[in-house]
Amino acid sequence: MDYNHRSIEQKWQKFWAENQTFKTAESTDKPKYYVLDMFPYPSGAGLHVGHPLGYIASDIFSRYKRLKGFNVLHPMGYDSFGLPAEQYAIQTGQHPAITTAVNINRYREQLDNIGFSYDWSREVRTSNPDYYRWTQWIFMQLFNSWYNKDAGKAESIDTLIDKFNNSGSQGINAESDEDTSVFSAADWKVFSEEEQQRELLKYRLAYLRESTVNWCAALGTVLANDEVINGVSERGGYPVEQKKMMQWSMRITAYADRLLSGLDNVDWPEPLVEMQRNWIGKSVGASVIFPLSHKRGIEVFTTRVDTLFGVSFVVLAPEHELVEVLTTDEQRLAVESYIEKTAKKSELDRMADTKSVSGVFTGSYAKHPITGDDVQIWIADYVLAGYGTGAVMAVPSGDQRDYVFAKHFNLPIIPISDSQNIEEQADPNKNGKYINSDFINGMTYQEAVPVLVAKLEELKLGKAKVNFRMRDAIFGRQRYWGEPVPVYFKNGMPYLIKEEELPLLLPEVDKYLPTETGEPPLGRAEGWKYQDQYEYELSTMPGWAGSSWYWFRYMDSQNQDIFVSKKAVDYWKAVDLYIGGSEHATGHLLYSRFWNKVLKDLGFHQEEEPFKKLINQGMIQGRSNFVYRVLDDEGKGTNQFVSLGLKDQYNSIPLHVDVNIVYNDVLDTDKFKTFRPDFADAEFILENGKYICGTEVEKMSKSKFNVVNPDDIIETYGADTLRLYEMFLGPLEQAKPWNTNGIEGVHKFLRKVWRLFHDAQGNFNVSDEKPTKAEYKALHKIIKKVEDDIERFSFNTSVSAFMICVNELTDLKCNKRQILQDLIIVLESYAPHITEELWTLLGNEAGTISYATYPTFNPEYLVESEFAYPVSINGKMKMNLPLALDLDAKAVEEIVISNADVQRYLDSKAVKKLIFVKGKIINIVV
RNA sequence: GCCUAGGUGGUGGAACUGGUAGACACGCAGGACUUAAAAUCCUGUUCCCGUUAAGGGAGUGCGGGUUCGAUUCCCGCCCUAGGUACCA
C-alpha cells in the first residue's frame, strides 16, 4: 500500500478526538511544562497558511516535551470579543455572538485538520459568560485595590480605609491621582459617603477619572495609546483626536518599575524587551522649580540637571495650565494666535513637521532657582503637554532643539563645559569640567550632579526624580461587543455589583450603534438597571481585558468557584513557553504582565512574571504571481499575455494572477482561461513552451490573489507535509514569504519514510534483525540532532536532518525494527499522523506514541564521538579529535604526538592519516 | 536620528563556542525505467579560466584589521526589514 495521507490523517484525528489522547491532568510523578499559543481572534476570513506557523512550532515543542516525560499543558481558545464582529453586526443586524460562533467553528475545523495536540476540554472563549464573569471579577479586584508604595505592592482597599480611619491621609505612600486631599482621621469620619468614595477612587487600581483620551469619532469609541498609530486608529486607520472624558482607567503606572525590572528575568527576544523598555520609558533625572514672582513656580523635568547654569529660557507646552496667567497683555494677541495655530495642527502634522521652528514669548520671566536671574518664558509646540510636566528648561548649548530655537529667536547660548564645541550645533557631551556654572565650576559630571541636587533640595526648589513615559491605560470602550463593566452608579459615584451577581450579562439591544444622545450602544438596552433603579456603567471593557489573564483559566477552565484554583496554579505556575507575534509587544504582553502582578500581590498566585520564555514567530507574507497583458497601440489590453522573459519586447501591464493556478512560477494556461471570464480566449506568448509568471512579495490578501489556504495544501499533500514544510521554510523567528514551490521535496521525504517500512510490492515488511553499526549511526545522529535543534527552536534544520537520515537508511536498505521504531518516535512531533500509523503497524497500542519515551542518544554509535574527548599534544595543547586543534602554526611542521596515550589510541584505531589543512589537523582518516 | 535584527549560489536556506563555505530542498540540465506519461531512481549544478579532464583562480554587502586560519571576532562604511521618535 502506498502512503495515503488522506485516510491516515482522518483516521488518527478521529482517534485522538474520540479517545481524548491529549487530555491533560495534573500529575505528581511527572514534571510539568506549559506551552501556550497566543489565542486567535476568529475572523470571518478563516486561517491562511501564515497563521498556523506558530501553532505548529508550539505543537512540535509540546509533543517533544511529552516524549521527554513532561506533563504538558497545551491548550487553545479564542479571543472572541472584538470590533470586526461588531461592525458586521452594525451592517447586517446579526448578533455578534452568532457571527463569532460561526467563525469559531470554522477555525476549529481548520485547526483540527492540522493535527494539533491541544487539550480541547480546556478551551476558553473570552465572550462566553462563564469566562467573562471572571474577567469582571478580576476587574472588581482591581477596583478594590490600591498600590501601597511602602509595601511595594497592591493591597485591598480596606487597608487604606483603615489607615484613613486611624490617621487620615497622613503617612499614606500610595500611587494615586495627583489631586488627593489632605485630611485627618476625624475629617474622614465625617465625610459623606459620596466624599469618601470620591477620595477612594483616586487610589483604586481601576478608577474613573476625567482624562484626555484618544477619541475616534469614526469608530465612536476611545482608544488606548497602543491602539493609535501615527495619529490614526490601528484598526481602520481613522483619525483620532484628543478629548476630555470621564473614563475608566487602569493604574498600570503604579507597576512601571516592576514591569521594567521584571524584563531582566524573562527569556524574551531582545527587540521585544527593548520595545517594552521604550514604552515604559524610564528617565532618571530631577525636577526643578523655576520660581515666579508671586505664584507657584514652573516645574520642569530634566535628565541633565548638571546643565542648570546653561539655562537661558524656559519653554511651556501650548496646553500648559500656566500659559493663561503668564501671558502679558502686550503678548496676549501673539500667544493666542500661536495657540490657535498649533491647536489646528493635527497630531500627524505636528509629528511630520519637526524641522520648522515655532514659538512665542509670553512676556513673563521666571527666576533661575539658584542664581535668581530672570529667565524668559516661551511657548512652543516642541514641548509636549503629555510628557513630564509639560515644561522644559532650555539649555541651548547642550540640547539641539533648544539650540535651534535659541538661534532662531536670538536667545543667549551659554557654554557650560570646557570640552564643548558649540559653533555649529549643541554639544551634549558629559566629559569636560564645568564653566560659567557657579559652585560646580571645575567639577566633573559625576561630581556635580549630587552637589546640585542637594542644593536644590535645600532650597526646596527641586529633587531627584524618575519620570516614566508610560501613561495609565484607558479601560472603557463605547462599544457593544465587550465585557460589561460590573459597576452601577449611585449619586454619581461608581459601586461594584455583588460578586454573586456575576456574570453581569451583556444585554440585548435593538441596534449596535451608539444612541441618538451619544451614549454607548448599551444605552439602548431597555430596562437595563441595577436593582431596577441604578444606572449601569454603559461602556464595555477593551479588547485586551479578556486576554490579560486567559493563561490562568486554561489551568482550571471548568472551575465555577474561582478564576483558577490555588491547587491548579500551584502546579502549573506560569507559562514556560509562549509563542506568538511581536505585534503584541506593547499591548497584550504589557497588560498581561500588569494583571499578573496585581493578582500576585493579592495572593492568588506566586509568579512575578507570567511568560518565562517567549518566541515571536515571523510573519508569513504572500508571494504574488503576475501575468503580463500585452497592450495595443492605444494602450488598451488585448487578449495576449506575454511570458516574463519576453515581456520587455512588448508594451504590457502586470496583472495579479491566482497563485493557486501557478506551479513553480509556470502558469497553468488552461486554468487561467477559466480564472476570469474575459480571459476565456486568452493567447499566450511562451518561452520554451512555458508561460513564466513574475513574482513579488506582498501581504497575503484576497485582492492580491496570493492567499493560500492550509486546507488546500492538506488536501493535496497532507497535514504532516504542511507541518514539516512550514518548519522547513526557514528560521521560525524570521519573516518570510510563503512559497508552495518546494513542498514536493518534503512530501517526497514522507513517502520515503513510508517505504522504509514497506517492500517493493507495498507490503509492510520490517525485520527483527540486529541493526548494523552504520544503521545505528544514522539513527543516533538524528536523535541527537533533533534534540539539540528543538531545544534551541531551530526546527528548519531538523527537517533537513530527517531527510539526510532517511536517505542514508534508504541507501542501507534498512528495515530493522530497532532502528525504525526509534526513528518514528523522534519524528512524531513533526509528523504525528504518519508516525502514529507506522507505530501501530509495528504492533504498538494506538495512541501511545505521543507518550512514548524519546530515545536516548548514545555517542558510541557516532564514530566522531569516539574521539570526542580532549587530549594534549606536545604535553600542552588541548584538542578534540578529530576536530580542529589549537596549536601554534610554527610548531606544526615538527608536530610529534608525544602523548603516549594519544599515540596508542590512534594506533589502536588504525589511524591511516591525519589531514592537515593549512597547518592544522582537521580530520583523521581511520 | 536612535534602538534591534539581518545581508551567503538562479531560489528557500545550512555551517551550534573561529577550523575543508554552500548541508538539505526547490529549480535547472542530462540520463535510466516506460509505447508514452505520472511516479521512482541516478549524475551534474557558486562563479571564472581550462575543448571534456587534470588543474588553477576568485568568492559569504563594501573597505580595513586581528589570526596559521574569519560567513563567524574588532573598526569604519553601504543596504534591507522591524520598532521608535520634538520624551526634555
Q: What is the pLDDT of residues A558-600, one digit of tens each?
A: 999 999 999 999 999 999 999 998 888 888 999 999 999 999 9
Q: Given A861, A889, A909, which residue is the final one in a domain?
A: A861
Q: How many CA atoms lie within 13 A of A480 on its CB side?
A: 26
Q: What is the pLDDT of residues A392-444, one digit of tens each?
A: 999 998 888 898 899 889 999 999 888 888 887 788 888 888 999 889 999 98
Separation between the CA of A145 and the C1’ of B84 (whole angstroms) = 33
pLDDT at A914: 45
Protein residue with the closest CA to the C1' atom of nucleotide B12: A729
Separation between the CA of A271 and the C1’ of B63 (whole angstroms) = 29
In window 589-648 of A, residues with CB < 7 A from nucleic chain B are none
Separation between the CA of A918 and the C1’ of B70 (whole angstroms) = 14
- A922 vs A862 pLDDT, higher one: A862
What gap in Å lies between CA A365 and CA A360, rounded to an integer? 13
A503 and A396 share a domain?
Answer: no
Residue A229 scores a pLDDT above 70 = no
Helix axes A743-756, A817-827, angle to 10 degrees: 150
A402 and A419 share a domain?
Answer: yes
Separation between the CA of A792 and the C1’ of B16 (whole angstroms) = 9
Look at chain A and count its residues.
Answer: 926
A422 and A453 share a domain?
Answer: yes
For the question of whether the overall pTM of this predicted structure is more than 0.90, the answer is no
pLDDT category at A747 given cuts 50, 70, 90 is very high
Mean pLDDT of A885-894: 33
Separation between the CA of A890 and the C1’ of B18 (whole angstroms) = 19
For strand B, is any atom closer than 7 Å to the CB of A746? yes
Decide: A249 and A201 in contact? Cβ < 8 Å.
Answer: no
Separation between the CA of A736 and the C1’ of B4 (whole angstroms) = 18
For strand B, is any atom closer than 7 Å to the CB of A82? no
Residue A705 covered by a domain: no
For strand B, is any atom closer than 7 Å to the CB of A745? yes
Residue A894: give its domain's CATH number. Answer: 3.10.20.590
Residue A489 scores a pLDDT above 80 = yes
Q: What are phi and psi of A809, to 5 degrees?
A: -65, -35
In window 534-593 of A, residues with CB < 7 A from nucleic chain B are 582, 585-586
Sign of the dihedral through C-alpha A59, A60, A63, A65: negative
Burial bucket for residue A409 (CB in 10 Å: 0-12, 13-18, 19+): middle
For strand B, is any atom closer than 7 Å to the CB of A462? no
A627 and A768 share a domain?
Answer: no
Residue A404 covered by a domain: yes
Residue A323 covered by a domain: yes
The 3-state DSSP class for residue A286 equals strand
Angle at A229 between CA A227 and CA A235, to 5 degrees: 55
Residue A73 scores a pLDDT above 60 = yes
pLDDT at A348: 52
Instruction: Work out how many domains chain A is built from and give that number.
Output: 6
DSSP collapsed to 3 states, A684-741: EECECCECECEEEEECCCHHHCCCCCHHHHHHHHCHHHHHHHHHHCCCCCCCEECCCC
pLDDT category at A1 given cuts 50, 70, 90 is low
| Exposure class string for A608-617: b at 16+ Cβ within 10 A, else e | bbbbbebbbb
Residues A838, A839, A844, A848, Cα dihedral to 10°: -140
For strand B, is any atom closer than 7 Å to the CB of A794? yes
Protein residue with the closest CA to the C1' atom of nucleotide B15: A797
- A375 vs A343 pLDDT, higher one: A375
For strand B, is any atom closer than 7 Å to the CB of A212? no
Residue A217 covered by a domain: yes
Residue A721 covered by a domain: yes
A319 and A449 share a domain?
Answer: yes
What gap in Å lies between CA A666 and CA A684, rounded to an integer? 12
CA distances from A820 to A136, A501, A775, A809 (A): 53, 59, 10, 9
Residue A865 scores a pLDDT above 50 = no
A627 and A607 share a domain?
Answer: no
For strand B, is any atom closer than 7 Å to the CB of A302? yes
pLDDT at A684: 87
A851 and A873 share a domain?
Answer: no
For strand B, is any atom closer than 7 Å to the CB of A197? no
For strand B, is any atom closer than 7 Å to the CB of A803? yes
From the alpha carbon of A469, which nucleotide's C1' atom is closest? B87
Residue A717: give its domain's CATH number. Answer: 1.10.730.10
Q: Given A654, A670, A698, which residue is the final one in a domain?
A: A698
Residue A920 scores a pLDDT above 80 = no
Residue A302 covered by a domain: yes
Separation between the CA of A156 and the C1’ of B3 (whole angstroms) = 39
Query: Which helix (H) or strand (E) element contains residue A745?
Result: helix A743-756
From the alpha carbon of A887, which nucleotide's C1' atom is closest? B68
A562 and A530 share a domain?
Answer: no
Residue A78 covered by a domain: yes
For strand B, is any atom closer than 7 Å to the CB of A791? no
Separation between the CA of A691 and the C1’ of B29 (whole angstroms) = 19
**Which residues are CB-contacts of A925 (< 8 A; sequence separation ≥ 6)?**
A911, A912, A913, A914, A915
From the alpha carbon of A380, which nucleotide's C1' atom is closest? B86
Q: What single DSSP character describes residue A842?
A: T
In window 316-355 of A, residues with CB < 7 A from nucleic chain B are 317, 350-351, 353-354
Decide: A311 and A393 in contact? Cβ < 8 Å.
Answer: yes
A521 and A563 share a domain?
Answer: no
A292 and A407 share a domain?
Answer: yes
Residue A422: give its domain's CATH number. Answer: 3.90.740.10
Residue A894 scores a pLDDT above 60 = no
In window 896-925 of A, residues with CB < 7 A from nucleic chain B are 915, 917-920, 922-923
Residue A609: give its domain's CATH number. Answer: 3.40.50.620
pLDDT at A734: 87
Range of the structural domain that residue A888 is part of: 864-925
Q: How many CB atoms lie within 10 A of CB A882?
A: 20
From the alpha carbon of A731, which nucleotide's C1' atom is closest? B13
From the alpha carbon of A467, which nucleotide's C1' atom is closest? B87
For strand B, is any atom closer than 7 Å to the CB of A735? yes
Q: What is the pLDDT of residues A181-211, one digit of tens each?
A: 999 999 999 999 999 999 999 999 999 988 7
Residue linked to cell 527641586: A462
> β-strand A487-490 against A493-496: which pairing, if any?
antiparallel
For strand B, is any atom closer than 7 Å to the CB of A889? yes
Residue linked to cell 481585558: A545
Separation between the CA of A823 and the C1’ of B23 (whole angstroms) = 21
From the alpha carbon of A885, which nucleotide's C1' atom is closest? B19
A661 and A806 share a domain?
Answer: no
pLDDT at A237: 72
Separation between the CA of A565 and the C1’ of B57 (whole angstroms) = 72
From the alpha carbon of A736, which nucleotide's C1' atom is closest? B12
What gap in Å lies between CA A899 and CA A463, rounded to an integer? 69
Separation between the CA of A615 and the C1’ of B50 (whole angstroms) = 51
The answer to the question of whether A702 is labelled as a binding residue is yes
In window 125-164 of A, residues with CB < 7 A from nucleic chain B are none
Q: What are phi and psi of A657, to 5 degrees?
A: -130, 145
Protein CB footprint (7 Å) on chain B nucleotides: 3-5, 11-16, 18-20, 23-29, 39-42, 67-69, 81-88
- A253 vs A228 pLDDT, higher one: A253
For strand B, is any atom closer than 7 Å to the CB of A760? no
Query: Which grid coordinates are listed for A301?
Result: 523635568
In window 665-724 of A, residues with CB < 7 A from nucleic chain B are 666, 688
Residue A875 scores a pLDDT above 70 = no
Residue A642 covered by a domain: yes
A381 and A460 share a domain?
Answer: yes
For strand B, is any atom closer than 7 Å to the CB of A868? no
pLDDT category at A354 given cuts 50, 70, 90 is low
